[in-house]
Structure 1
Amino acid sequence: MLPINIWHSLKLLLIYSFIFGEAFEIPDAFQKSNHTNNWAVLVDTSRFWFNYRHVANVLSIYRSVKRLGIPDSQIILMISDDMACNPRNPRPATIFNNAHEQINVYGDDVEVDYRGYEVSVENFVRLLTGRVPPDTPRSKRLLTDEGSNILIYLTGHGGDGFLKFQDSEEITSQELADALEQMWQKRRYNEIFFIIDTCQASSMYEKFYSPNILATASSLVGEDSLSHHVDSAIGVYIIDRYTYYVLEFLENVHPNSKKTMSEFLAVCPKHACISTVGVRRDLFKRDPSRVPITDFFGSVRPVIITTDSIDIVDIPKRKSAKTENTTKSQGKRGYLPQFPIDLIPNTV
């Protein structure tokens, strides 16, 4: 019998082949990656009702990577989580990324790993570098290795060389660069695709010096990153312009897509974004025009196909009922006395 994970992979392969009508083959024009697993770190660094668009940004990316195959167990989601049940939200438990309310991106299966004031610079850096306290649950750990491709998406308010967290602290571009270098030194990633949607966003990747990082930003230094449209029903902007066009592109991507990273990097030209999208590729070894977008937005599911016979390991037989009944049963258990009478001196 094949292991459960291989059966699961084969089932997915058959389902996707049936849906999309084509086999899973990497075109010769693509450069094959050495990664073995995919992770996503999605962070909304702001809070408060007027920043509704930022949580819509990050939840939209969250929905896209889940649809393309990255499981919740390999997605770290950090949001303030104060929008869905905000008293000013006329539709409780919902968050929309479009005024037409086509998709509730909050949905029924959002797994928030860091919420409220847990979204801090300290927790973010500890998450990346793996320097978390010993009692940190598995769901709050980035359990990557040297075979991991990681998508890092940040949105919020920023400036030249810094990104604000919760309007109370900030992380600098140098601190972020040093955290990524620690990841490389500790063999915590194979490749990273870094996306940031803030004002003056490109300043956050200028200090990067670690290898195998492809970075893009919604605006250059000195430029603002603008919102796309407002929902008059709730009175706030509902999504940022750059992320809006990113999602428009991702909606046409499927698990067997032949779209490349260079196509993704060109999703928001200046006439659409108004700001200038920045790209840094000098640290990235592969040619983005030959890298499939699913190397970062999809999920690797290794499938081993063999025509050889497989020996089935004998399963040890269970003990018979007679053997089980021969074990001596323990004596009846009772409750200890509520008061230790034997310790009270007898005065009679």
Structure 2
Amino acid sequence: MEQRMRFWVITLIVIVCMTITMTKSKGQDNGVKWAFLIAGSKGYVNYRHQADVCHAYQVLKSGGLKDENIIVMMNDDIAYNFQNPYPGYIPNRPDGPNVYYNVPRDYTGYEATLRNFYSILRGDKKAIRRGSGKVLDTKPEDTIFIFFSGHGNTGILELPDEKVIYADKLVDTLKMKTSYKKMVIYLESCHAGSMFQGLLPRDSKIYVTTASNPYENSFAFYCPHEKSPPSPAYTVCLGDLYSISWLEDSEQIDRKTETLDEQYLKVWSRTYYTYDDQFSHVMRYGNYVNMGNYILDTYQGAGQSPENDNYHFNATPTHEHSYKRFNTTTGLVSQQDALLHYLKLKLEKASSVDKSKAQTELDDEISRRKHEDQSVHLIWKFLFGEDIRSIMMANLRSDTQPLVDDW
């Protein structure tokens, strides 16, 4: 009797272990791993978005994804920008490696357009205007990883051509794309959750995490401190907290064993607990219930794969310049305040000749913001009166409803 009981206990343990292993392996196949990486901004002040995307390329490339299956869209105006203290060098963290190394420039400058964005997403080669011509030409067994880093607001994301991606059209396009097995989307922007809340079905083939919920900002990270002597070499934030969190996690862990949900929880924790008074809520959308246990390798590659065409990205901080670590604060800067942070540092570092111009730029930006705040307050007062708390607006919608009805 004891032997029979022992047999069944051991059998049960084996079955449980096999189930866990199979669950973590679910989603792996012999299909092609595709990736679409988008930096949605332009200008040196928005350095961090292109740095995030370049870093993402290095993570995916070292994981075994091939250049023919990685599509990069960015303005490409920071590596050799006159304000970059080390031309051609883009670190995504203090003392970090040059993540710009060998990054494909598929769609840059005037090619980084809304038209091309949707053409790439649909896999429509004929609709592409200029650029490399690469699109998500996926087959039914292929997987797709999409990463966007840039500016957003309620229901919109901005692209370098200053046109916007509307949430309803984005989700409709995703719904119409059927020739793939599974898709993962990581989205870095303010109000990022508003792109999917109440719009993306939970029974879709798509797993989404966002840097922020529909009502809040996300945060820039690795920012130089304006009060740290000596003045730092950089006047911009090098990355974004959500993006840095998943990128650094993917570099450090075994992507053959960590799941999407395990990475989500790590990123959620780092983004929420970095500072008590400054945080955003990393969110999940789509079919996260069924896809959360899929392993990262299925979408990001395994890391140091023999299939990476002998690609050796050096993750150590070495390059031709005598690059000195600059003082940084681990405090966060709201994406909406990153421009002010930059202009203050620019003023601090300005020579006597340039100081007047830098002061004017800062004053103009502060005046513009005051004018916008006053205008919004007047509209608010007219619609709701003085006593209505701003939280009322957030409470009008449940988390199963989109924030906008009429797009």
- TM-score interval, normalised by the smaller of the two chains: 0.7 to 0.9
Alignment check: 8 A CA contact 1:73 1:139 kept: no
How many residues align? The count is 270
Alignment check: 8 A CA contact 2:106 2:132 kept: no
- CA distance, structure 2, for counterparts of residue 297 and residue 275 of structure 1: 24
1:46-195 correspondence runs (5 A): 46-100=41-95, 102-107=96-101, 109-133=102-126, 139-166=133-160, 168-184=162-178, 187=179, 189-195=180-186
2:207 to 196, 206, 214: 214
Does the alignment pair 1:291 with 2:294?
A: yes
Per the alignment, residue 246 of structure 1 pairs with: 246
- CA distance, structure 1, for counterparts of residue 148 and residue 163 of structure 2: 15
Pair 29,56 (structure 1): closer, same or farther in 2 beyond 3 Å: same
The secondary structure found in structure 2 opposite 1:265 is helix
Q: In the TM superposition, what whole-angstrom CA distance separates every residue of 1:195-239 from its partner, at most 9, and x where no partner exists?
A: 100000011122224721000000001110011122431211110
Structure 2 residue ranges without an equivalent (≥5):
1-19, 225-231, 308-407
1:275 deviates by 0.4
The one-letter code matched in structure 2 to 1:286 is: N
- CA distance, structure 2, for counterparts of residue 222 and residue 285 of structure 1: 23
The one-letter code matched in structure 1 to 2:76 is: D
TM-score, scaled to structure 2: 0.62
Alignment check: 8 A CA contact 2:220 2:241 kept: yes
Per the alignment, residue 233 of structure 1 pairs with: 233
- CA distance, structure 2, for counterparts of residue 247 and residue 58 of structure 1: 10
Pair 266,144 (structure 1): closer, same or farther in 2 beyond 3 Å: same
Q: In the TM superposition, what whole-angstrom CA distance separates every residue of 1:164-213 from its partner, at most 9, and x where no partner exists?
A: 112621010011011111212xx2x1111011000000111222247210
The one-letter code matched in structure 1 to 2:188 is: D
Deviates more, 1:131-140 or 1:54-63: 131-140
Structure 1 residue ranges without an equivalent (≥5):
1-25, 304-348
The one-letter code matched in structure 1 to 2:149 is: T
Structure number with greater Rg is: 1
**More helix per residue: 1 or 2?**
2
Does the alignment pair 1:271 with 2:270?
A: no
1:284 deviates by 4.9
Please provide the CA RMSD for this pair. 2.5
Alignment check: 8 A CA contact 1:211 1:284 kept: no
1:40 to 35, 44, 63: 35
1:2-17 correspondence runs (5 A): none
- CA distance, structure 1, for counterparts of residue 192 and residue 57 of structure 2: 20
- CA distance, structure 1, for counterparts of residue 165 and residue 211 of structure 2: 18
Pair 42,167 (structure 1): closer, same or farther in 2 beyond 3 Å: same
- CA distance, structure 1, for counterparts of residue 245 and residue 177 of structure 2: 30
- CA distance, structure 1, for counterparts of residue 289 and residue 173 of structure 2: 20
The secondary structure found in structure 2 opposite 1:202 is helix
TM-score, scaled to structure 1: 0.72
Per the alignment, residue 194 of structure 2 pairs with: 203
The secondary structure found in structure 1 opposite 2:204 is coil
Alignment check: 8 A CA contact 2:106 2:131 kept: no
Per the alignment, residue 336 of structure 1 pairs with: none
- CA distance, structure 2, for counterparts of residue 159 and residue 93 of structure 1: 31
- CA distance, structure 2, for counterparts of residue 32 and residue 245 of structure 1: 25
Pair 134,196 (structure 1): closer, same or farther in 2 beyond 3 Å: closer
Alignment check: 8 A CA contact 1:89 1:234 kept: yes
Deviates more, 1:148-157 or 1:158-167: 158-167
Pair 197,137 (structure 1): closer, same or farther in 2 beyond 3 Å: closer
Alignment check: 8 A CA contact 1:212 1:284 kept: no
- CA distance, structure 2, for counterparts of residue 63 and residue 139 of structure 1: 21
Per the alignment, residue 260 of structure 1 pairs with: 259
Pair 240,284 (structure 1): closer, same or farther in 2 beyond 3 Å: closer
Q: In the TM superposition, what whole-angstrom CA distance separates every residue of 1:13-42 from its partner, at most 9, and x where no partner exists?
A: xxxxxxxxxxxxx93442422641110000
Alignment check: 8 A CA contact 2:207 2:291 kept: no
- CA distance, structure 1, for counterparts of residue 216 and residue 127 of structure 2: 42
- CA distance, structure 1, for counterparts of residue 156 and residue 170 of structure 2: 9
The secondary structure found in structure 1 opposite 2:24 is coil
Alignment check: 8 A CA contact 1:31 1:286 kept: no
Alignment check: 8 A CA contact 1:99 1:230 kept: no
1:152 deviates by 0.6
Per the alignment, residue 308 of structure 1 pairs with: none
Alignment check: 8 A CA contact 2:152 2:158 kept: yes
- CA distance, structure 2, for counterparts of residue 111 and residue 54 of structure 1: 16
